[in-house]
Amino acid sequence: MNLSDYKLATRNMIMYPDLSVAGRLFGGKLLSWIDEAMAMLAMEAMNTQRIVTKTVSEVNFQAPALLGDVLEIWGKEIKRGNTSYTMHGQVIVRRESEEGKEIVPICDCTIVFVALNEKGKPTSWK
């Protein structure tokens, strides 16, 4: 996996409260982490904190995250619109197994953020 075009947004360790009844990372928790981490990258790129998530699409869950895994969320710019900023997110986990250290891609998605003015309307951020 090549993350050279991506920026690291955040790291989390998977703990008991993050797990579903199946003993895997709860998907809703992961989506929340993705939204928050990618928003921070978008705020930096757009030079404003006044943004909202417009869409999260094409979420592909590829493998589970397990208790004790170190989860990393990476993002890269796809498109700069007048009021919007589109990114691709890649989520991996780092874990130790009997075979040694592994890097496992667990999820990827596309997310669009929109800049807002003081009245809550879309505004140019460039």
Task: Provide the residue-wise pLDDT of the chain in tens; the chain has 126 residues.
Answer: 789 999 999 999 999 999 999 999 999 999 999 999 999 999 999 999 999 999 999 899 999 999 999 999 999 999 999 999 999 999 999 998 888 999 999 999 999 999 999 999 999 998
* Entry pTM: 0.94
CA distance to 5, 20, 67, 98, per residue, from 87 (Å): 12, 28, 28, 35
With respect to residue 2, please indicate whether it lies within any of the assigned structural domains.
no
Token match 């981490």: residue?
37
Q: State the residue range of the domain holding 31.
A: 7-115
> Domain containing 110 — which CATH number?
3.10.129.10
How many structural domains compose the chain? 1
